[in-house]
């Protein structure tokens, strides 16, 4: 998985590509912990994400809980494969999703 960041003030956009699974989830978790200290708006652009496992869902849920306390989190550009995962798991009701 590749992680690219663009921070402007208190807004952070993270672009994810590849596979978010048990191997790469810890990498994203560490990146989020290191980056969201003063962030009030977190945007995850997952247009190039090919796959997400339950480990990836756990990271998103954790990030959502953190951001609920300090601002907002938006998941953008969700492809059909990942959207189906969100629908089946009920994450579609937890996350703010924009396409």
Nearest to 48 by CA among 79, 23, 73, 25: 79
- The alpha carbon of residue 71 and the mean position of all alpha carbons in its chain are separated, in whole angstroms, by 15
The pTM for the full model equals 0.94
How far, CA to CA in Å, does 33 sit from each of 38, 67, 85, 92? 11, 12, 24, 23
Predicted confidence (pLDDT) at residue 99 exceeds the cutoff of 90 = no
pLDDT (tens digit per residue) in 38-92: 999 999 999 999 999 999 999 999 999 999 999 999 999 999 999 999 999 999 9
* The CATH number of domain 2-98 is 3.30.750.24: yes
């Amino acid at each position: 998985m590749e992680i690219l960041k663009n921070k402007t003030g208190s807004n952070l956009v993270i672009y994810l590509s590849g596979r978010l699974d048990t191997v790469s989830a810890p990498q994203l978790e560490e990146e989020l912990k290191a980056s969201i200290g003063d962030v009030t708006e977190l945007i995850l652009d997952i247009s190039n994400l090919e796959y997400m496992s339950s480990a990836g869902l756990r990271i998103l849920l954790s990030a959502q809980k953190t951001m609920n306390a300090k601002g907002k989190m938006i998941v953008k550009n969700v492809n059909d494969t990942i959207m189906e995962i969100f629908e089946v798991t009920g994450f579609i009701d937890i996350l703010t999703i924009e396409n």
